[in-house]
Structure 1
Amino acid sequence: MPVTELSRLTLKKELKEEPKTVVIRALSRAKKLMEDFTGHDFHLYQEIENANHIYILGQWESVEQHMNEWIPSEANQGLLKDLVSFVEVDYLFHLDVSFGSIPPSEQAPIFSVGRHVMESEKRAAFESTFNKRRGGLEAHAPGTISGGWRIEKEHGREEFVLFVPWKDVDQHMAFKMTKEFEEYAEIRDHILLDATEIRHVALMEFPSPATQDDAA
């Protein structure tokens, strides 16, 4: 079953121009190698709230393909050596949603990544409320919303990750002032607020491999 990887990297420290260039090249190379390996597009996003956070989104044929074939591969191990001095992995897990259903960047300059964590027994109530109230969110978002359940579960917990396209952060904040948001916010009755987070991300642009080689 195709799955979507969601992972977040954090730059270990503020980078000066030369090491920053090294990181950008390594991330661009990682993107291309994963795309060549899977035959699917991968995208990297930078968090607006904290520019040191880098998100990876892409599709794998299965969790096993990612974890058992790609992770130990020579190509990936080489990438890790290039990046280990500069970044650390905050989290990495998979969602039961096709990457193609996540809002494309050309339709939304940014989108929010909402991690909704709940006790396992609250999942059915959350799903019911979300499906009942999602129309208000969809009416305000300038594109299709998408979400999926985390496959690697924490004991006694479920996590639903929601991707919502926005023109900018202000548009998202404006939604929170509407009547529709008051109704949509009923999902809070079912989630663990201290374990739930919402961040905004923007697509990272990389030079083509040919451009990088010319600059080297």
Structure 2
Amino acid sequence: MAVTEIALLRLKTPELSSSARSILKQAQQAQSEWSGYPVQFARQVEDSSYFYILGGWESIVHHNGEWIKSETNQKLLAQLKDDVDVEWMFHVDIDVSQHQDSSSNRPIDRSPDILKPSTSTIPLDAPVISVSRYFVEHAKRAEFDTAFNNGGPYLGAHTTPFTYSGGWRIDKEGDDEEFVLFNGWNKVEDHYGFAETEAFKEFGKIKGALKGAEIKHVRLERWE
């Protein structure tokens, strides 16, 4: 099953230089051509020195064992070492092969020469996307799944027309589990407002299975 990569990068300077932005655009194109999936950059709202990479891979081995060790990637990383740090990177079991072009409702053509931005299960078409990391003890994973499956439709009804998509972290650290949830919103305040609704009472039942949570918001960076 194809998987979703999520990585967090931190800027070492207040803003990207034009040369660093150019290299990142090269990296975006190179990774897309290598993986066959679109690659997106998203800037964090809470702290603009952080931005995320969202991409897809046929497998973790294809990413870690081939792309990361490749001469192309290593050269690009060396060029960026004075501008950004990689804080973390892992993979989530959201199958990017099922992402669709929302304008046609058809699976994306992932051949390197016909890459298209995906707006389907991960709501990349939303003005703001929340990235929620839910930390769950292994023994409570099934409890979380039940609560999420029951509460998810209440969340979806509130975020429409934007979608939501979540999946479990695959390459986890330690015994605990991590569930990553992407939600689309018109603005950050809409997400905060959801916590005051009756619908949240149903979705909020996931709290009983949580060990902790980290919730951030991002906007896609569309560099020209």
Q: TM-score, with normalisation over the residues of structure 2?
A: 0.86
Query: What residue in structure 1 maps to residue 143 of structure 2?
Result: 125
Q: AA paired with 2:74? A: Q
Structure 1 position 89 matched with structure 2 position 89: no
1:111 to 129, 132, 150: 129
Query: What residue in structure 2 maps to residue 214 of structure 1?
Result: none
2:214 to 182, 193, 197: 197
The SS at the match of 1:8 is strand
Query: What residue in structure 1 maps to residue 65 of structure 2?
Result: 68
Q: Work out the CA distance in 2 between the residues paired with 1:44 and 1:135.
A: 28
Q: Work out the CA distance in 1 between the residues paired with 2:122 and 2:169.
A: 18
Q: AA paired with 1:7? A: A
Query: What residue in structure 1 maps to residue 203 of structure 2?
Result: 184
Q: Work out the CA distance in 1 between the residues paired with 2:17 and 2:201.
A: 42
Query: What residue in structure 1 maps to residue 181 of structure 2?
Result: 162
Q: AA paired with 2:62? A: Q
> After the TM superposition, which residues 25-36 of structure 1 pair with which residues of structure 2 at under 5 Å, given as runs?
25-36=22-33
Check conservation: 2:130, 2:183, Cα contact below 8 A.
yes
Q: Work out the CA distance in 1 between the residues paired with 2:211 and 2:73.
A: 35
Q: Work out the CA distance in 2 between the residues paired with 1:131 and 1:104.
A: 18
Query: What residue in structure 1 maps to residue 156 of structure 2?
Result: 138
Unaligned runs of 5+ in 1: 208-216
Q: Work out the CA distance in 2 between the residues paired with 1:117 and 1:47.
A: 20
Q: Work out the CA distance in 2 between the residues paired with 1:6 and 1:102.
A: 15
> After the TM superposition, which residues 205-216 of structure 1 pair with which residues of structure 2 at under 5 Å, given as runs?
205-207=222-224
Query: What residue in structure 2 maps to residue 42 of structure 1?
Result: 39
Q: Paired residues, what number?
A: 201
Cα shift readout 1:133-192 (whole Å, capped 9, x = no counterpart): 112111111322111110012222011100111011011111111111122111111111
Cα shift readout 1:108-152 (whole Å, capped 9, x = no counterpart): 111101101111001000000111111211111132211111001
Unaligned runs of 5+ in 2: 100-119
The SS at the match of 1:192 is strand
Q: AA paired with 2:147? A: T
The SS at the match of 2:139 is helix
Check conservation: 2:40, 2:53, Cα contact below 8 A.
yes
Check conservation: 2:123, 2:163, Cα contact below 8 A.
no
Q: AA paired with 1:10? A: R
Q: AA paired with 1:9? A: L
- CA offset at residue 64 of structure 1? 0.3
1:57 to 51, 54, 57: 54
Q: AA paired with 1:8? A: L
> After the TM superposition, which residues 1-12 of structure 1 pair with which residues of structure 2 at under 5 Å, given as runs?
1-12=1-12
Q: Work out the CA distance in 2 between the residues paired with 1:104 and 1:116.
A: 18
Q: Write 1 or 2 for the structure with the bigger share of helix.
A: 1
1:98 to 90, 95, 100: 95
Structure 1 runs (4+) greater than 6 angstroms displaced = none
1:147 to 166, 171, 174: 166
Query: What residue in structure 1 maps to residue 103 of structure 2?
Result: none
- Which deviates more from structure 2 when the two are superposed, residues 124-133 or residues 176-185? 176-185
Q: Work out the CA distance in 1 between the residues paired with 2:218 and 2:186.
A: 11
